Structure 1
Amino acid sequence: MTGATLSELSARARDIFRLVVEGYIASGLPVGSKTLAGSGAVNLSPASIRSVLQELQDAGLLAAPHTSAGRMPTEIGLRLFVDGIMQVAEPSITEREQIERGLASGGTIEAALAAASSALSELSAGAGVIMVPRREARLVQLSFVPLGPARALAVMVAEDGSVENRVLDLPAMAGAGTLEQASNYLTSRLAGRTLAEAVAMIRDEIAGGRSALDAVSADLVQRGLAVWSIDAAQRPVLVVRGQANLLDEAALHDIERVRLLLEELEGAEAIAGVLDAAREAESARIFIGSENRLFSLSGSSVIASPWRDGDGRVVGVVGVIGPTRLNYARVVPMVDFTAQSLSKLIAQDGFSRK
């Protein structure tokens, strides 16, 4: 039998299973029958406890890393514990105050998010990670500056004074007149709009033949928009704090897993994909080990919760990444509380937009 349900376990098997999981989460080490018998929490002999442990192992809920060692939960076992046994408590006053202090530190949105991520990391003993909402600056103009016969510099200026440049290849037959026509057309459509709003309108105009652009200018406009669309998709903005917390005493027994996890944390785009999976959730989602492909090699877990703007739209995700022995009962409510606090500050326009 593999992947037993709670209803298939006897009362004493459930109790022993819970104690093994809680002991493993607390220490990061397998839990043996002598430890359980000596705790006084189980009124059974070590031999009887070993028999129950073997039943739980046969059910796929526990594993024995070594022949003479105790047991530790499998990913299936952890999922059963999280979904059916774990008792979640509200964050303590101290924990709430530490998270709120970080968010109330003022300054830019990035600074406040970094402080909140650091607080989550310290409280959870994992890596705190927050997906920063995409900037939706209102634009002023977009112009093309020739760099040679086949290349140009696209220059986009926003109302907040920020300027971004991208180099792009020119379509065949694109001369000075084409660059000027495309620049004037884009500026007239972009002014006062976000890039997303302008892109939708411009592409609709071009597709419907309402742009009054010739084929070469229309091609240039599409290329000019594409360099920003592609770039934004490939550069997710994340705030990650507390990777050093992953190198605790228990991790010394599993250096290879921690090395893999630290490598995985370097991939911002990949982590953004993991967090995106939580965007539609009402509260925290938990991904354990191989339930998420990115962290299947390191056997790590992710707890993530979406946060929203004043209109209720999801603008980002906050979470904690760490070993599968994360204290889920404690970390889940902290992640949810951080997401709710972020949502409140955004709704109250508590962040500087500079």
Structure 2
Amino acid sequence: MVSPPVHELSERTRSIFRHVVEDYLASGQPVGSKALAASRDINLSPASIRSVLAELELLGLLAAPHTSAGRMPTEIGLRLFVDGMMQVAEPTAQERAAIEQRLAGPGPVEQALAATSTLLSDLSAAAGVVMVPRREPRLAQMSIVPLDAQRALVVLVGEDGSVENRLLELPPGTAQSAMQQATNYITARLAGRTLAEASRVIEVEIASGRAMIDNASRDLVERGLAVWSTDAARRPVLIVRGQANLLDEAALGDIERVRSLIDDLEDKQSVAELLESAREAEATRIFIGSENRLFALSGSSVIASPYRDREGKVVGVLGVIGPTRLNYARVVPMVDFTARSLGKLIG
């Protein structure tokens, strides 16, 4: 069902609809006619309000979870509110200063990204997510370090000081000298290159017979590269913080939905793909409930914004994932400001 344009609703209908949505987003509970009648802005009897609520329900903008309960906005109603009626609350000067201070702490970029995810979680009382820039570091060294007779650790050191490692199964009888020769050979070809670039050089040398190493070392080189076969530039790196925020008092009455949402968040590849769809957006994007396939079953919302470097190039996406009753008016500008603040740091 497509919602009617806001201007087609009467002023009275718009006012009651806005009150229902705002009260629901604040409390997470259906809103009844008696509570609306008590509002100073609505000078109508409960009976008149019930008539308007019934009209909004027929339009698909409101729903009643139970016969005797109040009304709550549907996904269509939330979309109408967010697009046409919401008055955003821009961050105060104190809030902006606090956000910038939290992000500008000492440490590498990765630390700022983790801080951003935690910050978004704190601001929204939901889960904060940050997709790390898709970039593959230039490498300085690869080492094959023996652990025991059957296993070794393959360690990659980037020029930026980053360190990653993988476990490698060793062929029976592998000599430590073969590991040292393989380490020297790979490192000599890694310097200043990405792993993908170095791998192509090594593959050509081995295939053409120009690799000046013995068979045992050649086997270790191929095995060592194989454990890094996933191109780092293609791996979605997602930082998620604040899942515990999803288990609040309002969520306990719908624990299956929360469990479904937490399961969805564990599928980081799919979450990253969803955030990717916001990369080219000019402004913060809002996905409500079934508008995105991933969170359709859990009925959750996603507020996502790309963040850019100082040259204006999009390098990642950050956002908030939580129930549809998020405080959109406050969270949307917070996400937008956080994206701009992070961009200044990674420039």
- Which TM-score band applies after superposition, normalised by the shorter structure? 0.7 to 0.9
Shift of 1:157: 4.7
User: Can you list the C-alpha shifts for 1:34-84, whole angstroms capped at 9, x where unaligned?
Assistant: 111111222222122111111111111111100111111111111111111
CA distance, structure 1, for counterparts of residue 164 and residue 281 of structure 2: 34
Mapping of residues 1-354 of structure 1, within 5 Å:
2-134=2-134, 136-140=136-140, 156-160=156-160, 164=164, 190-195=190-195, 228=228, 230=230, 232=232, 236-347=236-347
Q: TM-score, normalised by structure 2?
A: 0.80
Q: Which moved more, 1:75-84 or 1:250-259?
A: 250-259
**For residue 94 of structure 1, what is the amino acid of its counterpart?**
Q
Q: Is the 8 A contact 1:88 1:332 kept in 2?
A: yes
Deviations 1:127-169 (A, max 9, x none): 1221222453212466999xxxxxx997755335656555799
Asked if the contact 1:144–1:153 (Cα under 8 Å) also holds between the matched residues in 2, the reply is yes
Distance 1:191 1:3, change over 3 A: same
Which ranges in structure 2 are unaligned for 5 or more consecutive residues?
A: 146-151, 170-178, 206-219
1:51 partner amino acid: S
SS in 2 for 1:111: helix
Deviation at 1:227, TM superposition (A): 5.1
Identity %: 72
Deviates more, 1:327-336 or 1:10-19: 10-19
Query: Residue 90 and residue 138 in structure 1: after superposition, are their counterparts in 2 closer, same or farther (change >3 A)?
Result: same
Q: CA offset at residue 25 of structure 1?
A: 0.4
- Report how far residue 228 of structure 1 moved: 3.3
Q: TM-score, normalised by structure 1?
A: 0.79
Task: Let me know the Cα RMSD of the aligned residues.
Answer: 4.1
Q: 1:204 to 1:13 in 2, by over 3 A?
A: farther
- For residues 110 and 132 of structure 1, the distance between their equivalents in structure 2, rounded to whole angstroms, comes to 8
Shift in alpha-carbon separation, 1:57–1:100, aligned structure 2, 3 A: same
Check 1:326–1:164 CA distance in 2 against 1; reply closer, same or farther (3 A cut).
Answer: closer
Structure 1: runs of 5+ lacking an equivalent: 146-151, 170-178, 206-219, 348-354
Contact 1:95 1:123 in 2 (8 A): no
Higher mean displacement: 35-44 or 194-203:
194-203
After the TM superposition, list the runs of 4 or more consecutive aligned residues in structure 1 that deviate by more than 4 angstroms.
141-145, 152-157, 160-169, 182-190, 196-205, 220-227
Structure 1 pair 53/155, CA: closer, same or farther in 2 (3 Å)?
same
Alignment partners' CA distance in 2, 1:6 and 1:12: 12
Q: Distance in 1 between matches of 2:56 and 2:223?
A: 59
User: d(CA) in 1 for partners of 2:13 and 2:132?
Assistant: 44
The Cα shift of 1:292 comes to: 1.3
Paired residue type of 1:273: E
SS at match of 2:273: helix
For the residues of structure 1 that align with 2:118 and 2:143, how far apart are their CA atoms? 40
CA distance in 2, matches of 1:111, 1:156: 19
Given that 2:109 and 2:346 are in contact with CA atoms closer than 8 Å, whether structure 1 keeps it comes out as no
SS in 1 for 2:36: helix
Distance in 1 (alpha carbons) for counterparts of 2:12 and 2:201: 64
Deviations 1:287-341 (A, max 9, x none): 1111111111111111111112233222221111111010101000000111000
Q: Which digits, 9 at most, give the CA deviation of each residue in 1:265-298, with x for residues without a partner?
A: 2222222222212111122111111111111111
Q: 1:2·1:58 contact (CA, 8 Å) conserved in 2?
A: no
Q: Name the count of aligned residue pairs.
A: 345
